[in-house]
Amino acid sequence: MSDVTYVVVGAGLAAARAVEALRADGVDGRVVMIGEETYLPYERPELSKGYLAGDKERADLTVHDEAWYAAHDVELLAGCRATALEVGSRVVQLERLDGSRPTERLGYDRLLLATGSAPNRLRVPGAGLDGVHYLREVDHSDALKAAIGAGGPLVVIGGGWIGLEAAAVARSQGVDVTVVEAAAAPLARVVGDEIGARFAALHRDHGVDVRTNVQVGRLVGDGRVEGVELQGGTVVPAAAVLVGVGAAPRTELAEQAGLTLAGGGVAVDTHLVSSDPRVWAAGDVAYAQNTWLGGPVRVEHWANANDQGAFAGHSLGGSDRQWDVAPFFFSDQYDTGLEYHGWADPLKQPVVVRELGDGAWTAFWLDSADGARVGRVTAGMHVNGWDDADAVKQLVVDRAVVDPARLGDPQVAWADLPQ
């Protein structure tokens, strides 16, 4: 056995894929994973989808069972928090959350930060009332599932992916749901107002009260939430509230250690190495140089944690590959499924929609390459267009240059689009 010690701070999907990749590469030495939750590492997308709906069991979310960690000689320190990182002496300080042990110090040779992100908190009067939910951990999903089972009404504050997915689950179970969004449309920050309006219409068609361009003033109730008061005084009744107003990467350990931060996360190069050559970062927390994109980006979705975590494990073990993956995410709402590839700024880049029929459609975001005549595809999304999914992805991965008029014409074959 090598005397090299690999430490992974975090025990989510990125961390699990990293240690899996290390051992798959034949790397020996000590491997230690530090996680605050008491559960085995698990995947989170189903917390607002199948698990919340009751279609998935907790075991279905687990990345590896307990026997895998023993068989691959991975030490999982569950219920444990890393409280300090000393990059000079290559030591991480640990605290057992149950208080069972005094502070511990763990030395490392190579360390991966896979600390993920935490939900942004609602900062209005009444935000601390019982019945106010966030959705990041499996226990959160359990609590929200119970609230939905009690019958609602449910108010979702924030029209992002998690909020809309949870709204779809609740509405599908007959609960009265109101979505309150400060922007002009749900998902506006990600897909823009035009595409966001399509998702607002989807939810309205299923009986959700979607209110846009509104701000929350306070939550009302006596010990437990009873309503959401909007600015202007309107009170929306609520037996439960889900707050989905984004998340913040957990960079406190990196900041304390003096690592370079940028883009809201830990700045890393194309090998996912931070400003300290012994420290890597992956997943939600990593602001990573991406050769496909031609610059750095921080991505909070499942595929990034899954793929970048594995990439980080290979890099920890000595791989010299560079990160060059187009971002990807998916969502399921009612009978609507979608896949999104790439990275676009919907406030700056025009969108082109192609109607595929039977409720299926695609959207592409373009960087202008020659005035308005052609544009380079930076991102593409299909909605229920499963037969077209590979073509959409390929246009994005290739950063194809296309004529917008032809791109929006369903009579033009995908293969005939690139200029």
Per-residue pLDDT of the chain (419 residues; tens, 9 = 90+): 579 999 999 999 999 999 999 999 999 999 999 999 999 999 999 999 999 999 999 999 999 999 999 999 999 999 999 999 999 999 999 999 988 877 899 999 999 999 999 999 999 999 999 999 999 999 999 999 999 999 989 999 999 999 999 999 999 999 999 999 999 999 999 999 999 999 999 999 999 999 999 999 999 999 999 999 999 999 999 999 999 999 999 999 999 999 999 999 999 999 999 999 999 999 999 999 999 999 999 999 999 999 999 999 999 999 999 999 999 999 999 999 999 999 999 999 999 999 999 999 999 999 975 556 789 999 999 999 999 999 999 999 999 999 999 999 999 999 999 87
Please tell me whether residues 136 and 235 are part of one structural domain.
Answer: yes
Please tell me whether residues 375 and 388 are part of one structural domain.
Answer: yes
SS3 362: strand
Please tell me whether residues 112 and 260 are part of one structural domain.
Answer: yes
Please tell me whether residues 173 and 258 are part of one structural domain.
Answer: no
Please tell me whether residues 202 and 307 are part of one structural domain.
Answer: no
SS3 81: strand
Please tell me whether residues 350 and 377 are part of one structural domain.
Answer: yes
User: CA-CA distance, 404 to 376, in Å (whole number)?
Assistant: 9
Q: Return the closest-CA partner of residue 362 out of 402, 319, 324.
A: 402
Sign of CA dihedral 50, 53, 55, 59: positive
Looking at residue 102, what is its pLDDT?
A: 74
Please tell me whether residues 114 and 252 are part of one structural domain.
Answer: yes
Question: Which CATH number goes with the domain that contains 412?
Answer: 3.30.390.30
Looking at 195, 220, 245, which one is the last position of a domain? 245
What tokens appear for 228 in the block? Answer: 């959401």
Structural domain includes residue 323? no
Question: Which CATH number goes with the domain that contains 9?
Answer: 3.50.50.60
What total number of domains does the chain contain? 3
Looking at residue 369, what is its pLDDT?
A: 55
Structural domain includes residue 326? no
Looking at residue 72, what is its pLDDT?
A: 98
Please tell me whether residues 57 and 105 are part of one structural domain.
Answer: yes
Please tell me whether residues 212 and 260 are part of one structural domain.
Answer: no
Structural domain includes residue 307? yes
Looking at residue 370, what is its pLDDT?
A: 57
Looking at residue 419, what is its pLDDT?
A: 77
Please tell me whether residues 241 and 141 are part of one structural domain.
Answer: yes
Structural domain includes residue 378? yes
Structural domain includes residue 260? yes
Looking at 262, 286, 316, which one is the last position of a domain? 316
Please tell me whether residues 239 and 125 are part of one structural domain.
Answer: yes
Largest CA-CA distance found in the chain, in angstroms, rounded: 68
Q: Return the closest-CA partner of residue 157 out of 211, 198, 201, 203.
A: 211
In sequence order, what DSSP letters do the residues of 235-269 get, joined into one string? EEE-SEEEE-S-EEE--HHHHHHT--EETTEEEE-
Structural domain includes residue 328? no
Looking at 223, 245, 267, which one is the last position of a domain? 245
Please tell me whether residues 198 and 131 are part of one structural domain.
Answer: yes
Structural domain includes residue 327? no
Domain range holding 347?
A: 335-416
Structural domain includes residue 324? no
Map tokens 């790439």 to a residue. Answer: 342
Q: Quote the Cα angle for 338-58-119, to 5°.
A: 60
